[in-house]
Amino acid sequence: MGISMTHEERANTLLRQGYHCSQAMFGAYAEELGLDLKTAMKISTCFGMGMRQGDMCGCVTASMLILGMAFGFYDPQDQEQEIFGNKKTDEFIRKFKEKMDGALQCREILGLDISNPEELARFRQEGMKFRICPRALHSSVEILDHMMGEYQDLLADVGGELSELPIEDELQSAFRRVNRFNRFRRDVRSLIHETEEKIDFIQFDIRKFKVINDIYGEKFGDEILDFITEKVGKICNEKQYFVNLRSDVFMIVTERKSEEETLALIERLKIELREFKHVTLQYTFGVYTVEDKSMELRQMEDRAAMARKAAKENIITNVAFYQEQFKELLYNRRFIEDNMQAAITERQFQMYLQPKYSIGSGHIVGAEALVRWTHPKRGMIFPNEFIPIIEENGFIRHVDYYIWGEACRFVKRCETSGIGSCPISVNVSRHHLLGDEFIRVLEDLIKETGINKKNLELEITETVNGQQISEMSNRLKEEGFTLLMDDFGSGYSSLNILLETPFDVIKIDKKFMDNMMVSDKGRLILAQVVSMADKLGLGLLAEGVETKEQVELLQQIGCDIVQGYYYARPMPAEEFYELLEKDREKA
């Protein structure tokens, strides 16, 4: 096929040569994707599987692959890029359905089911492949060519002034960050391979930034981040590159002749970034000096992050250089990241359930779903080892989906086995609040299992973004979910969030309750929280209950529902089911 052929012409030529539509579609773009035709055909063959079952049109599945390869959505840890990628694939699906009169599946487009041998024979005899499939090819190519052209226009605007482009705000913001990261990493790679000087990765964040957000508001917090970005941009020279990695975490990559040079730069940063308006800012710095230039950038960034976290834990200094002993932490992180997908596909993750009890009746009234990881070789990997890592890289969303599914199936088992209603609460990570995909996942799981929606309760931590909580909790309430505010009292914005969001139950944080138990004043505050919840018509649950003294106080002040080691530790689902059976027999 000549290079002068259009994508549509290439696709139709391949179709006439006997390839199915998925192969023809992907093959038409093979050259731009850096593939020879033979390799492209091998890759795209698997994308026709759904089509051969009468499911997703092969043109659509191939287009998803083309979008992913052309736009570079390949880094599972780059959440901004993932948001941008999801938006673009959603855009393709929407436009394809518009052009195909709402059809998306092969059987809808053809008007028959080619997974049926008789209908497949009719498909071939009547030459539908050449009468109907070209329309799907034409629609796909037209959409892809427009989207890829638009993407190249965006990339050409390296200056980053995208505000007048006709794309929605969230997508525009995501693209800005993707483009900024791509340029940053491109510049850093060039610097590493061109200079003969030492290279330092300096990663820093603001101490207690969440507290600042809680006290002064998120808008003020955003202004601080803009202030830092502007100041660092002026401080850095042409051989020093910086980027805002996420939230309040920044990174500078710089060449230097000595360690003192890096320390001088850090000192200048501390001085010039010390104060914004009336607020004094303190920072934590981690430094990694590049030793192996062939190392992946992600690994270099990880080492700088390890140093930053080590400095955060040291109250004496706010600067730490990466040391060899950090490798154990780094290797643990790599182990987690390398094995986390297999942990889902091989069902290494297990749902544990911690019972919730009524003090008054002494019976189980529900449970909270928690995750545990049993690796076939390493054994039990505890939550404090893997949760922070998968929260940081975003994989927590997939683990949540897995546990939500397990919880729904457990609820269904209770509903159908004679045990009856046993509400299970599941955690909704802050990562879910960035979009509404998780709502669709929840709805699909409930529809699939057929459970009563009231028996799947959603726990949202009060320490995450207040505006996100408010917006999403209202959406979830409209959908009929029961909402629990997790960790009430652990932050500075509990009452504000409670005012703005329609929670059904608040969970008193263990540390909050422990602190309140040590004095008469604290006990009085705890009693007022219980009274407030009652007057607001909210349910109340105290978590982390470990002593008889706590139980007696809670009962005295009117908090009946509790959860904690005093009653039961988290246990495997099957063990909880047996406990629940015995509990119901006594009721």
401 shares its domain with 459: yes
| Residue with token string 């390949």 | 74
More confident residue, 42 or 335: 335
The H or E element containing residue 428 is strand 424-428
pTM for the full model? 0.58
In a domain, 183, yes or no: no
**Final residue belonging to a domain, choices 301, 322, 343:** 322
Determine the Cα–Cα distance for residues 550 and 554; give it in Å rounded to an integer. Answer: 6
- pLDDT in the model for residue 173: 57
Task: Give residue 215's pLDDT.
Answer: 79
Q: Over 90: is that where the pLDDT of 442 sits?
A: yes
Residue 257: CA atoms inside 13 Å, Cβ hemisphere, count? 0
**pLDDT score, position 52:** 56
pLDDT at 467 over 50: yes
Non-local CB neighbours of 457 within 8 Å, separated by 6+ positions: 366, 423, 424, 425, 426, 481, 482, 483, 484, 505
Question: Domain end: 134, 169, 204, which one?
Answer: 169
| Residue 120 shares a structural domain with residue 213 | no
* Confidence class for position 46, pLDDT limits 50, 70, 90: low
> Which range, 106-120, 191-205, 423-437, 506-520, is most confident?
191-205
pLDDT at 471 exceeding the cut of 60? yes
pLDDT digits (tens, 9 = 90+) for 545-569: 998 988 988 888 888 899 999 999 9
Residue 302 lies in a domain: yes
CATH assignment at residue 234:
3.30.70.270
Residues 348 and 261 reside in one and the same domain: no
Q: Work out the angle between the directed axes of helices 169-194 and 79-99 (0-180°, nearest 10).
A: 130
Residue 491 covered by a domain: yes
Residue 83: predicted pLDDT: 64
CA distances from residue 47 to 43, 50, 473, 475, 522 in whole angstroms, order as listed: 8, 7, 37, 35, 62
Q: Are residues 148 and 59 in the same domain?
A: yes
- Report d(CA 7, CA 33) in Å as an integer: 13
Alpha helices (runs of H) in 111-258, residue ranges in sequence order: 117-125, 128-131, 133-156, 169-194, 209-216, 218-235
Query: Quick one: 402 and 482 in the same domain?
Result: yes
Question: 252 in a domain, yes or no?
Answer: yes
- On average, the pLDDT of the chain sits at 83
Which are the contacts of 343, defined by CB distance < 8 A and separation ≥ 6?
Answer: 349, 373, 375
pLDDT at position 463 over 60: no
298 and 381 in one domain? no
Task: Give the pLDDT mean for 421-435.
Answer: 86
Question: Between 159 and 216, where is the model more confident?
Answer: 216
Looking up residue 347, the CATH number of its domain turns out to be: 3.20.20.450
Higher pLDDT, 519 or 250: 250
Domain's final residue, options 291, 322, 353: 322
Quick check: 166 pLDDT over 50?
A: no
Q: Is there a domain that residue 572 lies in?
A: yes
pLDDT at 495: 59
Closest CA to 503 of 463, 543, 470, 531: 470
Highest mean pLDDT among 48-62, 173-187, 415-429: 415-429
Q: What percent of the chain has pLDDT over 90?
A: 36
Inside any domain, residue 182: no
**Is 123 part of any domain?**
yes
Q: Which residues contact 219 (CB under 8 A, 6 or more apart)?
A: none
Q: Which of 144-158, 180-194, 556-570: highest mean pLDDT?
A: 556-570
> Rounded to an integer, what distance in angstroms lies between the CA atom of residue 169 and that of residue 174?
9
Do 127 and 85 reside in the same domain of the chain? Answer: yes
Domains contained in the chain, number: 3
Same domain, 229 and 350: no
Q: In terms of domains, do 354 and 310 share one?
A: no
Confidence of residue 80 (pLDDT cuts 50, 70, 90): low
User: Residue 179 has which token pair?
Assistant: 């483009």
Establish if 184 belongs to a structural domain. Answer: no
pLDDT one-digit tens code per residue, 344-399: 999 999 999 999 999 999 999 999 999 999 999 999 999 988 998 888 778 899 99
CB-based burial, 547-572: b 16+ in 10 Å, e otherwise: eeebbebbeebebbbbbbebbbebbe
pLDDT at residue 161 above 70?
Answer: no
Say whether both 376 and 289 belong to one domain. no
Question: Quick one: 245 and 127 in the same domain?
Answer: no
Tell me which residue range forms the domain holding 162.
7-169
pLDDT digits (tens, 9 = 90+) for 400-412: 999 999 999 999 9
pLDDT in tens, 102-151: 988 888 888 888 878 888 888 888 888 888 889 999 999 999 888 877 76
Same domain? 257 vs 302: yes
Q: What is the rounded CA–CA span in Å between residue 404 and residue 406?
A: 5
